[in-house]
Structures are given as structure tokens and as C-alpha cells.
Amino acid sequence: MKNPEAQQDVSVSQGVRMMFYMMKPNETSFQTLEEVPDYVQKATPFFISLMLLELVVSWICKGKPPGRLDDALTSISAGVLSRLPSLFFRSIELTTYIYIWENYRLFNLPWDSPWTWYLTFLGVDFGYYWFHRMAHEVNIMWAGHQTHHSSEDYNLSTALRQSVLQIYTSWIFYTPLALFIPPSVYAVHLQFNLLYQFWIHTEVITNLGFLELILNTPSHHRVHHGRNRYCIDKNYAAVLIIWDRIFGTFEAENEKVVYGLTHPINTFEPIKVQFHHLFYIWSTFWATPGFFHKFSVIFKGPGWGPGKPRLGLSEEIPQVTGKEVPFSSSASQLLKIYTVVQFALMLAFYEETFANTAALSQVTLLLRICFIILTLTSIGFLLDQRPKAAFMETLRCLVFLMLYRFGHLKPLVPSLSFAFEVFFSICIAFWGVRSMKQLISGPWK
Ligand SMILES: [Zn+2]
Ligand SMILES: [Zn+2]
């Protein structure tokens, strides 16, 4: 029997509550996986609203924005990139889970029981703790997860800085649940567990009193994002901080936290943000002698080296002074505004693509994904002020016009269709002239 209270549309009240895991079992229990809403995709307006709220609160309380534009754009870019594979494939976290459930389940807990709902809440949160801990302690898993830590700011946009690679290892930690918890219940909690972690990425909430004892809070998660020595490998929780307290990885916030990787990557280029550590592992793997040492490069901690303990030496982590200057784009204000406009247009096409996936041909879908990746890369090049940025942007605007003309990208506002074409033609002319000038005046670096 279907649950009469459950529905696929998410109301405004539910939308707000789902961002804080304040959902009731009877409104979020589904018999089949197909009925489970894509809560994460439906959360976009709530992400934007909360980010705007954080901006206003930060201006009022601190007299400054909660972060920097270049950093925030890079974070949202990573969020966009990480969601693209789901346009083609069901996530590996669900595929493997369903396979184990269908072939190896030991017993079948009732999908409509609140007990199953609460047990799954605990099970997913516990699985996440161990996944997250391993993502910091196993180098090859860190190659995915480091993306999330690469921001040198800490605000709600940082939460969206997600890894493309992460789900290829995280699924392993949820497989025990597939022995007894129905996939539809698991799919609900997997999403709420992720959504809960959005609001804790902020500096505008300082301390939440007694809730700090049980829940993961902005204060606890700030420590997790710190590169101060006392912050490294601490506070892995998603929702309940009790796991860190039980397993000895808890650390309270005390001295000022400096955010980001211990060795900052100093780029806004989204592909590099996603994959740079894989290349680092590759080169370290070949540079390290001996089979067992090579094996250790992959499976021991990111700070490991021959003769060192599994997680490396804490004294090798650079000391912070609190005066670190985060990497910033040297692009002009005007160019930054231009990147925001182009980014917003891309985001509108991205949303429209997710809303109409079923109605789009595979070719259109693939071309749109390529256009989105090209746009994010080009914006990264512009922010990094790379020599080939002008050429890349000319190419991107040309690709846009082609896709638009051939109907692979639909006009967002049909009455403005002509204005769109004029705008992109001007962009092609502007960036085309700049790239020609660069080509004449000197070789690209
Ligand atoms: Zn982490
Ligand atoms: Zn985080």
C-alpha cells in the first residue's frame, strides 16, 4: 500500500525543513525507489535563499560579505560538475545498494515503519562518519574528497564544493545497510544526510549551546575545514557529533581557524580543483621505490612517506599564523561581473536540463553537458587570468551560438531570443579580437 501522506512535490515548508533534517517519517516514507523525490535537486532555491540570507546577516553583523566571489563561483562550479553524471546514470551509491538488497538481503524491514526510518537515519550517519574518516586517511579517497576542502573561505557556498569522484568510494560504507533496509528508505536518508551538511558551513552562527554536545554544528565543522595543526583529521560527523566523541576524533573550536588545504592549490579552474591530487598521487607513486611503498602511497594517509607513521607527521603540517592571505583572482571588477552573468546563464540552462531530462535526446544531453563543462572551465581560466582565457571564451561563445541555433539549447525567455544571439555575437567579437591580439603580440604561455 502506498503512503497517502508522502508526495513527490516538495512544499516550501518541507523544503525549509529538509535543509535541517526536520522531516517526519510519515511524510518521507516511500514504498518504491521511483517514488522518492530528488530532494537534492529540488533544494536549489533553498541553497540560493540561504546563501542570500547569509550575505545579508554577514553584512549587518560583520560589515562584510561572508566570502569572495571568485571562491564562491568555484565552489558552485564544483557542485554543478559533481551532479552532471546523474543526468546519465543512477548514482553508484544506489546501484550497488539495490544489487546487494536484491541478491543478499538477510531480512526485510517494513518501509513504512517509523522505527525503520530512525534506524536508517542512524545507519546512514554512522556510515558517513566512517566514509568521511577514510576519505581523510586513505590517499586515493582523499583525491576525491580534497575538492571539498580546497576553499580558503568558509561560507554556505563552500558546502556546494563537492567532488565528482567521491561517490565511487563512499558507496562501500553503506552496503551493510542493504542487508536489511529497503532502498527507498536509504535513498531518502542519503539525501537528507547530505542536505543537513549545507547549513553548517557558515561563520555567522557562532555557538548553539547544548546542541553542540549532540549535533554537528557550524563550530564543529569549522574545525574540520581548518588547516591549523589542531584541526587536522578531526570532526568527521555529518549530523551527529557523537560519533567523533565516541571514536576519539572530536576537537572543539578554540584558536582562530584558517581554512583550506595545508598546501593551497591557488587556482579557480574547476577541473584542476577536482583532479589535481590524482596527478600528485600518480607522480608520487612512480617516484616512490618498492612495491609495498607504492601500495602505501595509494592506501595510507596523504601525509605518509617512507619511514613515517600511517597518517604522516603532524610537525610536517605547515604552521598557520592567522595572517595567511587567501588566493584571489586578479581579474578586474568588470570581468568578474561578466563571469557572474555567464555563470548565471549557464546555471539557468543547467536547471532546465535537470527539469526536462526525460524529454531530451541523448545527443542534446551530451552536448549540453559539454557546454556546461566548457563554461565552467572558461570562467575558471578568466578568473585565473590564464593566457588562453580569451581564446577559450571565444570558443565557448561560438559553441553556445551553434547549440542555440540548432535547438540543443532552448531560449530561456523566447521573446529575448534575438537579444541573446546579439549578446553572444558581441562576446565572440570582443574575445575574438583579444585572442587575436594576444596571438600577434606574443606566444601563449
Ligand atoms: Zn572532510
Ligand atoms: Zn564541509
What pLDDT digit, counting tens, does each position of 202-250 carry?
Answer: 999 999 999 999 999 999 999 999 999 999 999 999 999 999 999 999 9
What is the 415 CA–ligand 1 centroid distance (Å)?
46
Q: Is the pLDDT of residue 61 over 70?
A: yes
pLDDT above 90 covers a percentage of the chain that reads 88
The pLDDT tens digits for 282-302 are 999 999 999 999 999 999 999
Q: Nearest ligand to the C-alpha of residue 157?
A: 2
Q: What is the model's pLDDT at position 2? A: 55
Give the whole-angstrom CA distance, residue 176 versus residue 94.
Answer: 13
Which pairs count as long-range contacts for 100-107, CB under 8 Å and 24+ apart, including other chains? 100/175, 100/178, 100/179, 101/178, 101/179, 101/182, 101/183, 104/178, 104/179, 105/178, 105/179, 105/180, 106/179, 106/180, 107/179, 107/180
Which residue, chain included where needed, has cell 589535481? 276
Distance 269 CA to ligand 1 centre (A): 21
| Closest CA relative to residue 380, chosen from 77, 48, 67 | 77
The arithmetic mean of pLDDT across residues 387-407, rounded, is 94
Q: Is the pLDDT of residue 442 over 80?
A: no
Residues 376/270, Cβ–Cβ less than 8 Å: yes
- Amino acid sitting at position 197: Q
Query: Do the Cβ atoms of 180 and 108 come closer than 8 Å?
Result: yes
How many Å apart are CA 196 and CA 30, to the nearest integer? 20
Q: Which helix (H) or strand (E) holds 292?
A: helix 291-299
Distance 62 CA to ligand 2 centre (A): 22
Backbone angles phi, psi at 422, to 5 degrees: -65, -45
- The partner residues of 215 in beta bridges, in order of sequence, read 240
pLDDT band at 444 (very low <50, low <70, confident <90, very high): low
Q: Give the pLDDT score at 392.
A: 96
Which amino acid is residue 128, in one-letter code? Y
Q: What is the mean pLDDT of residues 77-83?
A: 96
CA distance 270 to 44: 20
pLDDT over threshold 60, residue 445? no
Alpha-helical runs (H) found in 232-269: 242-247
Per-residue pLDDT at 210:
97
Q: Which ligand neighbours the alpha carbon of 194 most closely? A: 2
How many A from CA of 231 to the centre of ligand 2?
A: 13
Q: Distance between the two ends of the chain, CA-based, in angstroms?
A: 65
Of 43-57, 84-98, 132-146, the range with the lowest mean pLDDT is 84-98
* Helix (H), strand (E), coil (C) string for 58-112: HHHHHCCCCCCHHHHHHHHHHHHHHHHHHHCCCCHHHHHHHHHHHHHCCCCCCCC
71 CA to centre of own chain: 13
Q: Considering Cα of 264, then 270, then 275, then 280, what sign does the dihedral take?
A: negative
Q: How far is ligand 1, taken at its centre, from the CA of residue 326, in Å?
A: 19
* Mean pLDDT of the region 72-86: 96
Predicted TM-score (pTM) of this structure: 0.93
**Distance of CA 196 from the midpoint of ligand 2 (Å):** 11
Mean pLDDT, to the nearest integer, of 134-143?
98
Q: Cα of 132 to ligand 1 centre, how many Å?
A: 6
C-alpha angle 329/332/337, rounded to 5°?
95
Query: pLDDT tens for residues 151-191?
Result: 999 999 999 999 999 999 999 999 999 999 999 999 999 99
What pLDDT does 378 receive? 98
Task: State the CB neighbour count (10 A cutoff) for residue 419.
Answer: 11
